[in-house]
Amino acid sequence: MAEQPSNLPTAYDPKRAEDKWYDYWIEGGFFEAGKDPEKKPFSVVIPPPNVTGYLHIGHALDNILQDILVRWKRMEGYDALWLPGMDHAGIATQAKVEARLREEGVSRHDLGREKFLEQVWDWKEHYAQIIRNQWRKLGLSLDYSRERFTMDEGLSQAVREVFVRLYQKGLIYRGKYIINWDPATQTALSDIEVIHKEVQGHLYHMNYPLKDGSGSIRVATTRPETMLGDTGVAVHPEDDRYRDLVGKTVILPVVNREIPIVADEHVDAEFGSGAVKITPAHDPNDFEIGLRHDLPQILVMDETGTMNENAGPYQGLDRFQCREKIVDDLQEAGVLTEIEAHTHSVGHSERSGAVVEPYLSTQWFVRMKPLAEKAIQDIRSGEGVQFVPERFEKIYLHWIENIRDWCISRQLWWGHRIPAWYCTDCSETIVAREDPDHCPKCGGEHLHQDEDVLDTWFSSGLWPFSTMGWPEETEDLKRYYPTDVLVTGYDIIYFWVARMIFSGLEFTGTKPFRDVLIHGLVRDAEGRKMSKSLGNGVDPMEVIEKYGADAIRFMLSTGVTPGNDVRFRWERVEAARNFANKIWNASRFALMHLEGVKAEDLSLNGPLSTADRWILHRLNETVERVTAGLNRYDFGDAGQSLYHFIWDELCDWYIEFAKLPLYGDDEAAKDSTRSVLAYVLDQSLRLLHPFMPFITEEIRQHLPVEGDSITVASWPQSQSRFEAPEAVGEMEILIETIRAVRNTRAEMDLMPKQQVDLLIRAGEEAVPAFRNNEAAIRRLCGVDRLEVDPSLRRPERAMALVVTGAEIFLPLEGVIDIEQTIAKLEGERKKLDKEVERVEKKLANEGFVNKAPAHVVEEERQKGREYREKREKVVNRLKELRGE
RNA sequence: GGACGGUUAGCUCAGUCGGGAGAGCACCUGCCUUACAAGCAGGGGGUCGCAGGUUCGAGCCCUGCACCGUCCA
């Protein structure tokens, strides 16, 4: 590398590293799968973002988690494939393009279908490029050679194949039913595209007069404008109040239509008056009742929500204007006698926000029961998709068990055109893989294709296999399908996850992924959902610009608890940035001492110090913990244990200990310290790489180690030769001692430069810890004279400290305050008294001693011994200080 | 109405064998100690929502309740 370590800036600069290394990775083809057929495959498909616009921070979280898994598996030696792609997002994208056209005063109808679609494709290309650039900024290790789009040729082929197969199996049908109609975007919606909100509305009570003049029947509704489409009144067959009225006729006010009173089990006799008006064309329940009683279906609105010719005097009014007017009129006419405040659930379009109108319309549907059955069986078999966290399985199951037929046709232009043709000559419907040119029934050539397109999720549901080439038996499909894990938010379990599962089972005969990892939403600092209207969204690119990609990656990935929402807080990004900087500087330190050193100069076979053996032991444990964390998708635990290891152990202790040999004269010690430092740093960088890819590559490129890129460096393994429990024991004593001395120095207001003497009376077991590390103690405690002697005589007028296995004296003639020393020891004694009491009480409890596991009891006894020993020393010191 | 999640330090959250309550930030004290002031050293701070129960032992398991949130109907 051109830069000398000593010239490296003292702060990590993400901007200098990120683009450079991403280019290097892409040019080097490190993310392209399939290069080594010997390796085991590991595959993930990205949840395709909509080409509607920019990625938000939720995408960032989702993608970062996947990237961590994929990078980790790649380092573990798998042939890792992460397949990128995007979704055409029918309604959303079309709405955006239409909105832009509207600004120019043009409607899609002005342009015509073909011209309009050209515009949408332009839009798609524009945003696809933006999204790719955002992926790049996030550092995602995607295989761009396999990028897919839901409206690609191949994926469209898959859509058509699926449609035809389902149609031929009788699982797709076309019919006239009540669907959810969005008057704003003027298309049908599926059930889950409707969001139910509690709305403060009214319940309107009306009296419909009986034809025979014998009175009236009282009905209630929340949507009085629909009364214009009433074709019946229904009561419960067991309801005595109305028994005599069943079969009679009422005159519908305003339109003066004669409509029957029918008896139907479905009516809830407890609600309102127990009689309900029936509007078969504008309500799903009424539709069913209407069918049972053969009632006419009268639509009173058009596609825009405007009252139509069937609305008589109200024709031309918007549905809500009509409601107001009709309420006034009916009140005046004495028909509407009571208005009651009433909260009820009103469906809104997920996309446009408009109040959804239940609407009678001819649409295409998927018969869900048989498909759902397979999915339910699969999960019940125990061999099905594994949800992580497990609780989401229940949510999924509940939905799939109660699923209704899926309305898949959309009155849009942007999407997969429904592969159905109608013969104008004989009105035959033709569903085919290839566009037909004549009617197979009558031979006529007057065919026209269905105008509608398919629900976006129809194609997204095929994503894991359509992207791999299905229905062709491609090499990729054989090698990478089914995928290993799908990572997505809980908000699209129904929309997407469920549909991929039943589609995978139906068309490929296997579940599309082994695990599905569900994460939460990224909320703002106050816990509110990020939204455009609140303006509280955080742009991930802004975060990267300010703090670097590694910072946002580390913050988001380690801040999450599986399945729970995470709040975005700038302080935490800053903390992650500081961590990156910490690593940068630790590396700078290491590089300063490795200048001119080559990989082959390094060896861990030299004499290793206590600290060397301790850090290698701790590295072992960290490797195991990080790997275990990733294995169970616990990014938080994996990341935090790494953070702790690097910052608190490697930086705060090991490097401080390492400075002695590194700045000393003992060349052998220097060599082995350099080797350990380089090794531990390299291993730490590897463990950190999935979380912070850029800085780890940047640093490792400076280190004297083998290999092209850290992206393909092997994943660390714990090694039994590094196990050194005795070094851990020694370090614990040293750390406790150093802390105790520093603590005392702080309390006595000693300047850092002021040296003290330290006399240590160590028990036999603790002697090696001190003897082997005298220089370190001197350095880290600011010690001038140091004596370690098991038979040391207590000096006069000295501060006394008690640590595990030793007593420490600081003769501070002229500085020591005897009262302060006594107070300190008294505090210590009180604490130890409490501990001893707690332990003894526990051990005196027969239940504990008899029932607790032996090792727990033994640990407790051991603690008791240590506390008593320590307390005895403290008490003796106090006695001496008081001259007793 | 049903289901699920949450309630732990001032704030945001960990706590996956039931065995002495943790982190980051914030706060207080002292330090520009030649890797790092985006830092170092030291320190204070919690009735683990409430009430019962199981257990030798409960933040953790069971029951009930309260409040916040989400999904479904």
Strand A41-45 and strand A79-83: the pairing is parallel
pLDDT tier, A25 (very low <50, low <70, confident <90, very high otherwise): very high
Domain A728-816 matches domain A819-882 at the CATH topology level:
no
pLDDT tier, A678 (very low <50, low <70, confident <90, very high otherwise): very high
Is the separation of the CB atoms in A436 and A447 below 8 Å? yes
pLDDT tier, A700 (very low <50, low <70, confident <90, very high otherwise): very high
pLDDT in the model for residue A585:
93
Residue A5 has pLDDT above 60, yes or no: no
Average pLDDT, chain A: 88
pLDDT in the model for residue A6:
55
pLDDT in the model for residue A428:
87
pLDDT tier, A138 (very low <50, low <70, confident <90, very high otherwise): very high
Is the separation of the CB atoms in A189 and A182 below 8 Å? yes
Question: Within a 10 A sphere around the Cβ of A798, how many other Cβ atoms?
Answer: 20
Domains of chain A by residue range: 182-358, 567-723, 728-816, 819-882
- Residue A375 (CA) to nucleotide B4 (C1'), in angstroms, measures 22
CB-based contacts of A32: which residues, under 8 Å, 6+ apart? A143, A145
Coil, strand or helix at A43: strand
Residue A825 has pLDDT above 60, yes or no: yes
Question: Which nucleotide across the nucleic acid strands is nearest to A588, CA versus C1'?
Answer: B35
ipTM: 0.94
CB-based contacts of A537: which residues, under 8 Å, 6+ apart? A56, A57, A524, A530, A531
Cα separation, A447 vs A420, in Å, equals 10
Mean pLDDT of the A263-269 span = 84
Ramachandran bin of A653, using left for φ above 0, alpha for ψ from -120 to 50, beta for the remaining angles:
alpha
pLDDT tier, A443 (very low <50, low <70, confident <90, very high otherwise): confident
Coil, strand or helix at A342: strand
What φ, ψ does residue A246 adopt, rounded to 5°? -60, 130
**Of all protein residues, which has its CA closest to the C1' atom of B20?**
A835
Question: Which nucleotide across the nucleic acid strands is nearest to A832, CA versus C1'?
Answer: B20
- Residue A661 (CA) to nucleotide B1 (C1'), in angstroms, measures 72
- Residue A390 (CA) to nucleotide B55 (C1'), in angstroms, measures 28
- Residue A590 (CA) to nucleotide B31 (C1'), in angstroms, measures 24
Residue A527 has pLDDT above 90, yes or no: no
Tokens of A374: 């397979």
Residue A873, annotated as binding a ligand? no
pLDDT tier, A326 (very low <50, low <70, confident <90, very high otherwise): confident
pLDDT tier, A654 (very low <50, low <70, confident <90, very high otherwise): very high
pLDDT in the model for residue A270:
79
- DSSP letter, residue A87: B
What φ, ψ does residue A544 adopt, rounded to 5°? -65, -40
Question: Angle of helix A774-781 relative to helix A725-747, nearest 10 degrees?
Answer: 30
Ramachandran bin of A301, using left for φ above 0, alpha for ψ from -120 to 50, beta for the remaining angles:
beta
- Residue A751 (CA) to nucleotide B31 (C1'), in angstroms, measures 8
Query: Given this structure, which CATH class describes domain A182-358?
Result: alpha beta
Cα separation, A448 vs A424, in Å, equals 8
Provide the CATH topology of domain A567-723. Isoleucyl-tRNA Synthetase; Domain 1 (1.10.730)
Mean pLDDT of the A525-539 span = 82
pLDDT in the model for residue A680:
94
Question: Which nucleotide across the nucleic acid strands is nearest to A636, CA versus C1'?
Answer: B14
Cα separation, A379 vs A397, in Å, equals 8
pLDDT in the model for residue A750:
77
Give the type of residue at A836.
V
Question: Which nucleotide across the nucleic acid strands is nearest to A847, CA versus C1'?
Answer: B56
pLDDT in the model for residue A192:
82
- What are the CB-based long-range contacts (under 8 Å, 24+) for A862-865? A863/A835, A863/A839, A864/A836, A864/A839, A864/A840
Question: Which nucleotide across the nucleic acid strands is nearest to A13, CA versus C1'?
Answer: B38
Partners of A423 in the beta sheet? A447
- Residue A581 (CA) to nucleotide B40 (C1'), in angstroms, measures 15
**Of all protein residues, which has its CA closest to the C1' atom of B40?**
A652
The residue behind tokens 């549905």 is A319
pLDDT in the model for residue A164:
94
Provide the CATH topology of domain A728-816. hypothetical protein PF0899 fold (3.30.2320)
Cα separation, A240 vs A225, in Å, equals 29
What proportion of chain A, given as a percentage, has pLDDT over 90?
39
Mean pLDDT of the A434-458 span = 88
Cα separation, A414 vs A393, in Å, equals 33
What proportion of chain A, given as a percentage, has pLDDT over 70?
98
Ramachandran bin of A77, using left for φ above 0, alpha for ψ from -120 to 50, beta for the remaining angles:
left
Nearest residue to A492 via CA among A51, A59, A57, A53: A59
Question: Which nucleotide across the nucleic acid strands is nearest to A846, CA versus C1'?
Answer: B56
pLDDT tier, A2 (very low <50, low <70, confident <90, very high otherwise): very low
- Residue A631 (CA) to nucleotide B17 (C1'), in angstroms, measures 19
Is the separation of the CB atoms in A498 and A396 below 8 Å? yes
Is the separation of the CB atoms in A204 and A336 below 8 Å? yes
Is the separation of the CB atoms in A308 and A315 below 8 Å? yes
pLDDT tier, A1 (very low <50, low <70, confident <90, very high otherwise): very low
Dihedral (C-alpha) A738, A741, A743, A744: value to the nearest 10 degrees? 180
pLDDT in the model for residue A884:
62
Mean pLDDT of the A580-605 span = 88
Residue A534 has pLDDT above 70, yes or no: yes
Residue A186 has pLDDT above 50, yes or no: yes
Residue A3 has pLDDT above 70, yes or no: no
For A461-512, how does the pLDDT look when each residue is reduced to its tens digit (9 = 90+)?
999 999 999 899 999 999 999 999 999 988 888 889 999 999 999 999 999 9
Q: Which nucleotides of B are covered by protein (CB under 7 A)?
A: 3-6, 12-16, 19-20, 23-26, 29, 31, 33, 35-43, 55-57, 70-73
Provide the CATH topology of domain A819-882. Helix Hairpins (1.10.287)
Cα separation, A107 vs A246, in Å, equals 51
pLDDT tier, A691 (very low <50, low <70, confident <90, very high otherwise): very high
- Which residue has better confidence, A352 or A156? A156
For A42-54, how does the pLDDT look when each residue is reduced to its tens digit (9 = 90+)?
999 999 999 988 8
Residue A32 has pLDDT above 90, yes or no: yes
Mean pLDDT of the A248-273 span = 85
- What are the CB-based long-range contacts (under 8 Å, 24+) for A328-336? A329/A254, A330/A206, A330/A224, A330/A253, A330/A254, A333/A253, A334/A207, A335/A206, A335/A207, A335/A208, A335/A253, A336/A204, A336/A205, A336/A206, A336/A224
pLDDT in the model for residue A619:
94
**Of all protein residues, which has its CA closest to the C1' atom of B43?**
A743
Nearest residue to A409 via CA among A455, A460, A459, A350: A455
